[in-house]
Amino acid sequence: MNHDGLTKALLLTTKSYRLGMEAKASENLVTVIDSILTNLNNAATTPSTHLNNILAEILAAQGRRDFLRIADLLEYELAPVLVP
Amino acid sequence: MNNSTPSLPSAGLLKKNLEVLDKRWPDIYQAINRTTKRPSIAVSRDTPVPTLIIDGIHLSSGYDRVKEAQLQSLLVPDKSNKAWVYGVGLGDLPRTLLERNKIEQLFVVIMNLGLVKQSFSSLDHTDWLSDPRVNLLTATDQIDVHFPFATTPPCLELADNSSASLRDLIYLELATPSICKKHSPDNRHLIERLAENKNFMQMDGDVTSLFGSAIGETIIIAAAGPTLAKHYEWIRQQQEKHLLIAVDAALRPLHKAGINPDIVVTIDGHPKLIYTFFNDLDLTQYEQRPLIYFPIVHKNVLNLWPGPRFVAYADLPLYREYINKFPKGILFASGGVLHPATDLAIKMGATKVVLLGADYAFPNNQTHVNNCSIAQKREAGLNFWVLSGRGERIPTAPNYRGALRDLERYIAYHPEVTFINGSREGAFIKNTTFLEK
């Protein structure tokens, strides 16, 4: 997935979480994270500590079903790192 | 828009908010005053905009609450003069909707009294609470979801026991577009399956030929929940008197217990999973027993069945083309095989339906009854829960919650039928009584 596609997917995921459409949001989140990992692999790049921390925090928020926090992390933390 | 900053709880703020409630909604005022269960609360300090965190869940964005509430409010069309808001949160969503001049009535439903008490202790809500267009309600009296609505998602997650049913119905409505997409007429796998099964649809019987064949009778339905095993002896005693319909996943456990259901229902399009419900059984004893199926079931499953097969459709666009080509009866289905099994029993004419193993949950952290090919132990945890027949929270899965609520809606449409739930250990099912053995 290119940057445009990833940004679009991120926004869609964020929106779904904020609206309470959790099933759709969680499905999209898997696509987003898979895509990030694939892009990193393809670029043979090691994820930065900052990116790792954000991803870890997203997973922790998902574990406690803290959906608006996930949305914030995607929109305001992850998106700027991925699409500077 | 009032977008005040939450502070740590203060008695002054709570008093100020409750004064409005006392004047306008004295019953809710008293209910909040009586609430002793106060969830843990914190104010986030590591985000640009402080927000409340209750039981580890953020009640709003920590970056832009106004933008978030505006997005959430988009679920209510601009032209609406009436709207429902599920969950108070920090008050941002009701405020945003009240900015619309078109809105004449705004119904705000509290999903957790303790949470609202905490929010009232930390923020000034008097502006929207005082708006004459607002009607504040508790979830307890809400039987179903009203439209158009918008929601504050954390309030659904933090719903209290009395709001659990409404919470599930709201989630179900929010998930409906995704669910419909899975069963849409452009789902390639399902289209292929239907094309493969044309001959079956043409040759096999029509489920309507069974309709009206058990008028006034009691029909037992076996689902594959863990509690089914507790009823084997009772089923053996009853089977001479009453018809036994089994859902596909319950066939193997019943068969291993020496019980042969009279009718089996299977509807799922999963190519391999459903096969495991049938493939290792000696099915010769079913040569006279009907299999009722939706034609998305894999042909390998259909070919295993030695008895008569009857086609049924769900009322979905996916089947429209085939309903015209090969007309057969329709059975209700909305997220689980127990739905069409129950609808079949009613359309056969049953006036009493006994639901066994209809747990819609994981009693003792077990997913299915023993000997079901997909039964497994799951990790303890209450990420998703429903109330059991004993009124306790028990673990479940989101799709089970949705299917349970759709079954309850179905039952509510059939007051002429007595529905009996076999166990208090599984999910409480509204409008059922419990089986007295």
What pLDDT, in 10s, does the model give residues B83-95? Answer: 999 999 999 999 9
Inspect the interface and report whether the beta carbons of A22 and B174 lie closer than 8 Å.
Answer: yes
Name beta bridge partners: B109: B86, B137
Q: What mean pLDDT comes out for the span B174-181?
A: 82
Whose CA is closest to B207, among B358, B418, B348? B348
pLDDT at A19: 97
Q: Which residue has the higher pLDDT, A47 or B146?
A: B146
The ipTM is 0.94
Judged against a pLDDT cut of 90, whether residue B142 lies above it is answered with no
Q: Which residue has the higher pLDDT, B148 or A81?
A: B148
| Buried-exposed string B71-104: b where 16+ CB fall within 10 A, e elsewhere | bbbebbeeebeebbbbbbbbbbbbbbbbebeebe
pLDDT at B183: 72
Judged against a pLDDT cut of 80, whether residue B132 lies above it is answered with yes
B164-182 vs B398-412: helix axis angle to the nearest 10?
100
Q: Considering only CB atoms, which chain A residues are within 8 Å of B398?
A: 22-23
Inspect the interface and report whether the beta carbons of A72 and B175 lie closer than 8 Å.
Answer: no
Say if CB B125 and CB B119 are below 8 A apart: yes
pTM for the model stands at 0.90
Say if CB B150 and CB B83 are below 8 A apart: yes
Q: How many CA atoms lie within 13 A of A83 on its CB side?
A: 15
Whose CA is closest to B292, among B236, B253, B332, B241? B332
**Chain A, nearest residue to B174 by Cα:** A21
Judged against a pLDDT cut of 60, whether residue B247 lies above it is answered with yes
pLDDT at A38: 84
Model confidence over B260-313: pLDDT tens digits? 999 999 999 888 899 999 999 999 999 999 999 999 999 999 999 999 999 999
Tokens 């933390």 sit at which residue?
Answer: A77
Judged against a pLDDT cut of 90, whether residue B178 lies above it is answered with no
**Closest approach of chain B CAs to the CA of A58, in angstroms?**
13
Can you list the pairs that B236-244 forms with residues at least 24 positions away whose Cβ atoms lie under 8 Å? Answer: B242/B217, B242/B218, B242/B354, B243/B214, B243/B217, B243/B219, B243/B345, B243/B348, B244/B219, B244/B220
Instruction: Output the CA angle B365-B368-B369, nearest 5 degrees.
Output: 110
pLDDT at B101: 97
Q: Considering only CB atoms, which chain B residues are within 8 Å of A67?
A: 57, 153-154, 157
Cα separation, B257 vs B244, in Å, equals 14
Say if CB B356 and CB B239 are below 8 A apart: no
**Is A68 near chain B, with CB under 8 Å?**
yes
Mutating which of B52, B65, B174 best tests the A interface, going by the most A Cβ atoms within 10 A? B174
Say if CB A52 and CB A33 are below 8 A apart: no
Inspect the interface and report whether the beta carbons of B58 and A69 lie closer than 8 Å.
Answer: yes
pLDDT at B185: 75
Judged against a pLDDT cut of 60, whether residue B50 lies above it is answered with yes
**Closest approach of chain B CAs to the CA of A76, in angstroms?**
8
**Is A64 near chain B, with CB under 8 Å?**
yes
pLDDT at B112: 95
Partner-chain residue, chosen from A15, A22, A27, that has the shortest CB–CB distance to B71:
A15
Q: What mean pLDDT comes out for the span B113-120?
A: 94
Cα separation, B259 vs B232, in Å, equals 8
3-state secondary structure B94-134: HHHHHCCCCCCEEEEEECCHHHHHHHHHHCCCHHHHCCCCE
Distance of CA B15 to CAs B7, B22, B144, Å? 15, 10, 32
Band the pLDDT of B31: cuts 50, 70, 90.
very high
Distance of CA B234 to CAs A70, B184, B228, B241, B242, Å? 49, 41, 10, 12, 11
Band the pLDDT of B8: cuts 50, 70, 90.
low
pLDDT at A84: 59
Q: What mean pLDDT comes out for the span A10-32?
A: 93
Judged against a pLDDT cut of 90, whether residue B335 lies above it is answered with no
Q: Considering only CB atoms, which chain B residues are within 8 Å of A19?
A: 71-72, 75, 150-151, 153, 174
Inspect the interface and report whether the beta carbons of A24 and B177 lie closer than 8 Å.
Answer: yes
Which amino acid would we find at residue B23?
Answer: K
Mutating which of B68, B149, B168 best tests the A interface, going by the most A Cβ atoms within 10 A? B68
pLDDT at B2: 54
Partner-chain residue, chosen from A18, A65, A75, that has the shortest CB–CB distance to B383:
A65
Judged against a pLDDT cut of 80, whether residue B3 lies above it is answered with no
Q: Considering only CB atoms, which chain B residues are within 8 Å of A71?
A: 61, 68
pLDDT at B106: 98
Model confidence over A39-64: pLDDT tens digits? 877 776 777 888 889 999 999 999 99
Residues whose CB falls within 8 Å of the CB of residue B300, separated by 6 or more in sequence, listed in order: B271, B275
**Chain A, nearest residue to B86 by Cα:** A20
Partner-chain residue, chosen from B150, B157, B178, that has the shortest CB–CB distance to A23:
B178
Inspect the interface and report whether the beta carbons of A69 and B62 lie closer than 8 Å.
Answer: yes
**Chain A, nearest residue to B399 by Cα:** A23
DSSP code, position B5: P
Partner-chain residue, chosen from B63, B171, B177, that has the shortest CB–CB distance to A72:
B63
**Closest approach of chain B CAs to the CA of A37, in angstroms?**
25
Whose CA is closest to B396, among B350, B352, B429? B429
Q: Considering only CB atoms, which chain A residues are within 8 Å of B59?
A: 68
Cα separation, A27 vs A13, in Å, equals 8
Say if CB B339 and CB B399 are below 8 A apart: no
**Is A16 near chain B, with CB under 8 Å?**
no
E-state strands within B309-372: 309-313, 329-330, 352-356
Q: For chain B, which domains are there? A: 11-180 (3.40.50), 188-434 (3.90.1480)
pLDDT at B37: 67
